[in-house]
Structure 1
Amino acid sequence: MAKSALLKSSLAKKYWMALTGLFLCLFLAGHLAGNLQLIFSDALHFNQYALFMTTNPAVKLLSYLTYISILFHAIDGIMLTVQNRAARPIGYAKNNAAANSAWASRNMAVLGTLILVFIVTHMVNFWAVMHFDEKMPLQTISIDMQGQKQDFYLTTDGGYIPVGQVNDNGLVIKNRTEFFDGMANIKVKEGYKDLHKITVAFFQDPQTGLIATILYVLAMAVLSFHLLHGFASAFQTMGVNNPTYSPIIKGFGKGFAIIVPLLFAIIPIYIHFFLKA
């Protein structure tokens, strides 16, 4: 009975919304730090980050926790919205909602739904490609060899493998990243999936790149409005309502809600308009 109440009561749902929301804020900060390498670093460092994020056991565990939190946060939000509307099926005769609450707080369900749509499409375009696309390219680099350009695969041990050696001279690629001696069937080296190339191509595509950039920026604007209400509301739900700390939390929340989405939005703008492919 207690367990059922913990999951079904309105108060419990608000607690779960707060906890998952704050955890997802931590995820946003970490994800932003990694993605900013698209601006402030090079392809190799970004691909090293992508490899770490998809192979490190602790990070993979956190990733699963993130997926669960997103689903729980979305479902919990829908249930709360339905529950609140069911509790008040008939609107007030005079309703001046704008005078009593911020626009974002009145439209959290709509904002959250738009963000969920963005997350799904974002994962299809990048996460799914990184994990499942058999045609995911490996990172290569062109080096001038006595006046002639030669392409090499970069390997995780800091080495190079001439592209021409693969297949033609006994080396084969297995598991999409591993170089094997075809004769002895022994793993020789491992390469980097080129997520940097995939990302740049996505936002620089001549036909769809500009549209993708605009939609990404709009999604970050939606995220900003969602965070403007959600961040401070989460702490309030958790009972942090102190005259000393509440203004600090609200101020930090507003800064977080503006700066984090803004930095995310700058990344595709930089790639589309300023990065040389």
Structure 2
Amino acid sequence: MKQTTLTYKLVMAATGLFLCFFLVIHLLGNLQLLLPASEAREQFNWYSHLLSGNILINIISYVLYLSLIGHAIYALIITNKNAAASGQKYVYDKRSEVSSWNSRNMGILGTIILIFLVIHFKDYWYVYKFGYLPLDAKGNKDLYAIVNQSFQQGWYIIIYELSFIALGFHLLHGFFSASRTLGLYHPKYSKWVRVFGWMYSLAITLGFMLIPIYIYFNLNAL
């Protein structure tokens, strides 16, 4: 039983770390949206075309999809096993005194992120792959126009921002949990693991949150 649970946690850690790496690459690509409009359109559409047309990147994309699905499924399995192992409910539960808020609410955070991913894939990935998009001056699909259009809607930005706040808390707990599972959280350098975890989580969260706000105010200032 313990060995099975450890295997599940190792899968969670491995898929989670791969997704962390992907978020860095994804953010770097999306930061091109902060360039001046004409340059941003050309660069971002070229970047989108590269991601969809390269065989190696397509293979990595399938690994990404499997990692997302596997991460979600194993999260549910571990949650159910932990709930079953908890047994009876105690009259006085002191977990809130020894655990962080995000660690106690990973289910809620994960659900928010999952709903966001469904919306995100529908609005961008599905439209890019199967929808009709005009072409830019270089002959690439103009995904830049779709992104700008979506980030002109206040309600969409609110959903986007809240989702990345949830992701930030999720990353913070997940990073520390994965480091413990993989045996990296040693007392000698636990401080540096925590510092790196905080820096990574803040950089990813704030980086993604900046983009829609910048686009919204930049477009409405014109």
Contact 2:45 2:144 in 1 (8 A): yes
1:72 and 2:70 aligned:
yes
CA displacement at 1:9 relative to structure 2: 1.2
What are the Cα deviations for residues 136-173 of structure 1, in whole angstroms up to 9, with x where unaligned?
Answer: 1111xxxxxxxxxxxxxx23xxxxxxxxxxxxxxxxxx
Give ranges in structure 2 of 5+ residues lacking alignment.
none
**Which AA in structure 2 matches 1:201?**
Q
Give the helix-richer structure, 1 or 2.
2
Shift of 1:245: 2.4
Q: What is the aligned counterpart of 1:244 among 152, 166, 188?
A: 188
Q: Secondary structure at the match of 1:36?
A: helix
Larger Rg computed on CA atoms: 1
In structure 2, distance between residues paired with 1:56 and 1:242: 40
1:137, 1:202 → 2: CA distance?
A: 16
1:20 aligns with 2:11: no
Deviations 1:183-203, CA, capped at 9 Å, x for gaps: xxxxxxxx2000001110111
- Structure 2: which amino acid aligns with 1:36? L
* Distance across 1 between alignment mates of 2:107 and 2:12: 12
1:38 lines up with 2:29 in the alignment: no
Matched, 1:194 2:192: no
Q: 1:221 — aligned with what?
A: 165
C-alpha displacement at 1:275, in angstroms?
Answer: 3.1
- CA-to-aligned-CA distance 1:10-66 (integer Å, 9 cap, x gap): 111111111100110000000000001001352001100000011111111111100
- Structure 1: unaligned runs, 5 residues or longer: 140-153, 156-190
Question: Does residue 1:11 correspond to 2:9, yes or no?
Answer: no
What RMSD over aligned residues (CA atoms) do the two structures have, in Å? 1.6
Counterpart amino acid of residue 35 in structure 1: N
Structure 2 contact 109–170 (Cα < 8 Å) conserved: yes
2:135 is equivalent to residue 138 of structure 1: yes
- Within 2, Cα distance between the matches of 1:243 and 1:87? 28
TM-score w.r.t. length of structure 1: 0.76
Of the three residues 154, 157, 160, the one matched with 1:210 is 154
**Do residues 118 (structure 1) and 116 (structure 2) align?**
yes
* Identical aligned residues as a percent: 41
TM-score in terms of structure 2 length: 0.94
Residue pairs, 1:266-277, within 5 angstroms: 266-275=210-219
Task: List 4+ stretches of structure 1 deviating above 3 A.
Answer: none
Match of 1:59 in 2: 57
Q: Is the contact made by 2:185 and 2:193 (CA closer than 8 Å) also made in structure 1?
A: no
> Which residue type is aligned with residue 237 of structure 1?
T
Once the two structures are TM-superposed, the CA of residue 109 in structure 1 deviates from its matched residue by 1.6
Q: Which residue matches 1:174?
A: none
Q: Is the 8 A contact 1:32 1:264 kept in 2?
A: yes
Separation of aligned partners in 1, 2:19 and 2:190: 20
Q: Secondary structure at the match of 1:35?
A: helix
Q: Distance in 2 between matches of 1:214 and 1:241?
A: 35
Tell me, in whole angstroms, the C-alpha distance in 1 between the residues paired with 2:40 and 2:100.
Answer: 41
> Which structure is higher in strand share?
1
Count of equivalent residues: 218
Which letter maps to 1:17?
A: M
| Preserved CA contact (<8 Å) 2:168 2:205 | yes
Counterpart of 1:159 in structure 2 is: none
Question: How far is 1:97 from its partner?
Answer: 1.7
In the alignment, residue 5 of structure 2 is paired with which amino acid? S
